[in-house]
Amino acid sequence: MSFWEIPLVETAGYFSVVVLCLIVAMVLFELVTKYKNWEEIKKGNIAVALATGGKIFGVCNIFRFSISQHSTLPEMIGWGLYGFVLLIVAYLLFEFLTPRFNVDKEIEKGNRSVGFISLTISVGLSFVIGASIS
């Protein structure tokens, strides 16, 4: 058994890679949204916290499926990132499919209902995306 096959080392490796991918994902989400996630959360904006929490859960859930189904680190990263791209597309579709209001503006204004729906979409679709990449 090589050093990289030791379960503790393998777990630490997956954890480290997913945390790095999550940081990259959050930076990309920050660029996609019209508001500043962490500034709004610092101000106490629950809608932004809900939407951001949904994105974090969604990305982690996609990587959970990727880890469980792909045997090499490059495969896991590739499929996880592909799933993340699909999650961004879903977010953009949510914005596009709600022509009566602007999702980002409503979340920035603190509309908890829109923040909760955003969370639900991110979490729900992460299960669908995860199942499809497994």
For the chain, domain boundaries = 3-133
Answer yes or no: are the C-beta atoms of 124 and 90 closer than 8 Å.
Answer: no
Higher pLDDT, 72 or 36: 36
Question: What pTM does this model have?
Answer: 0.90
Q: Give the per-residue SS3 of 40-81.
A: HHHCCCHHHHHHHHHHHHHHHHHHHHHHHHCCCHHHHHHHHH
pLDDT value of residue 32: 87
pLDDT tens across 48-106, in order?
A: 999 999 999 999 999 999 999 987 888 989 999 999 999 999 988 998 889 899 999 99
